Structure 1
Amino acid sequence: MTEVTRVPIQPIAKGSLTKLWLGVILAVLAGAGLAWAAVPAGVEVKALTEGTGPSPGATDVVLINYTGKLADGTVFDEGQAVPLQLDQMIPGFSEGVVKMKKGGKYELTIPSDKGYGAEDKRNPQTGEVVIPGGSDLVFEVELLEFMSAEDYQMRMQMMQQMMQQQQQDGGAPGGAPQGAPQGAPPIPPQ
């Protein structure tokens, strides 16, 4: 037969159990808050004017009007009717544009880790810092059109062929010299 030694249990002081549970809850909330703060911020897309129809794909070429700014409003780049292949852009830009619809105007906010990162972005001609390292970026983007990269390449080849044909025909449609309307009499020498 085995003997069991009995030890009397001390009563818990009034309110101690509540304090223990509050401490556990606070520790869990603090841990969750630290974990949430460690998650990098995502790309934000805000519609200024909603577009319609489908959105571009990750490898499409988009035709856009845009203005790129730093978080303080300083403009670092802008362009009108610019074709851009999305899979060759900074990750945050591509991630945001695929959420847009044709004809819409949007504000795209890109955290630095999805933009140019920690290093300064410099102007290649002057060496001047255009985007300081660690900068969040804000773009106003108007999505004019988009197409597959293959369709874009085919259209560019067709345009090059048309331009070559025009040069061979005298530089203008229909073979007329540049600047002179077709069917106009030649200008006499002076």
Structure 2
Amino acid sequence: MSITAVPIAPTKRRYLVWLWIGIAAATLSGVALAWQGTASVVATRGTNEQFLAWNRGQPGVVETASGLQYRVIEPGEGPTPTDTDLTLINYTGTFRNGETFDASRQPTPMSPAQVVPGFGEGLKLMPKGAKFRFWIKPELAYGAEARTDPQTGREAMPANSLLIFDVEMIDFVPEAVVRQMQMQQQLQQQGIPGGPPPGVR
């Protein structure tokens, strides 16, 4: 009689069910991890179109009809600026790899009508006190045109760059008011009074 010829007790059906459930859960977890890894690679290394398609599905991201993507970090309140207003903002601009290419050192005046289309569109969505993040595709920024630093002659912005901006809207006023204030200031600097003497109409 062989020692190895010991009968094996049959496995209970409920144990088999739990075993298959465990295998299925492990498989789904593996697929989910693989998908997350793929999404992460697309976010960092994929084309601009792949990145924007992935980013569109992230929490809080809104895409406009033009293709500008933005997320409200702080909502602010009140009306929003128009093309005829001058905004006062703080901003930081980065590439997809996180490298900063531009940043304000102090509150900076900008007209929505005098910046790249995606940035201007984003500014016109922001009430006072708001903080937004913009993702601007190349077609709404500098397109296929590479930009060089005029001082060094080196490439400052590669062609087809997708730009990411964090922007804080401090204030905005009508551009006509700003021009009037500038004219009064110039007149005062030249010694010309900005208006009629007191008591004269």
TM-score (norm 1): 0.62
Amino acid at match of 1:48: I
Q: CA RMSD in A?
A: 2.0
Amino acid at match of 2:83: A
Amino acid at match of 2:96: A
The percent identity for this pair of structures is: 37
Distance in 1, Cα, partners of 2:95 & 2:166: 11
* 1:117 equivalent in structure 2: 143
Q: Please state whether the residue corresponding to 1:56 is helix, strand or coil.
A: coil
**Which of 101, 107, 119 is the equivalent residue of 1:93?**
119
TM alignment of 1:165-176, pairs within 5 A: 165=191
- C-alpha displacement at 1:164, in angstroms? 4.5
Distance in 2, Cα, partners of 1:122 & 1:144: 30
**Which of 60, 69, 82 is the equivalent residue of 1:57?**
82
Distance in 1, Cα, partners of 2:77 & 2:86: 18
Q: How many residues align?
A: 128
Q: Please state whether the residue corresponding to 1:145 is helix, strand or coil.
A: strand
- C-alpha displacement at 1:120, in angstroms? 0.7
Q: Given the alignment of the two structures, is residue 47 of structure 1 paired with residue 72 of structure 2, yes or no? A: yes
Distance in 2, Cα, partners of 1:137 & 1:116: 9
- C-alpha displacement at 1:112, in angstroms? 0.5
Q: Unaligned 5+ residue runs, structure 1? A: 1-36, 166-190
- C-alpha displacement at 1:145, in angstroms? 0.8
TM-score (norm 2): 0.59
Q: Please state whether the residue corresponding to 2:107 is helix, strand or coil.
A: strand
* 1:70 equivalent in structure 2: 95
Q: Given the alignment of the two structures, is residue 155 of structure 1 paired with residue 177 of structure 2, yes or no? A: no
- C-alpha displacement at 1:78, in angstroms? 0.8
**Which of 165, 180, 196 is the equivalent residue of 1:139?**
165
Whether the 8 Å CA contact 1:41–1:111 is kept in 2: the answer is no
Q: Unaligned 5+ residue runs, structure 2? A: 1-52, 54-64, 192-201
* Larger Rg belongs to: 1
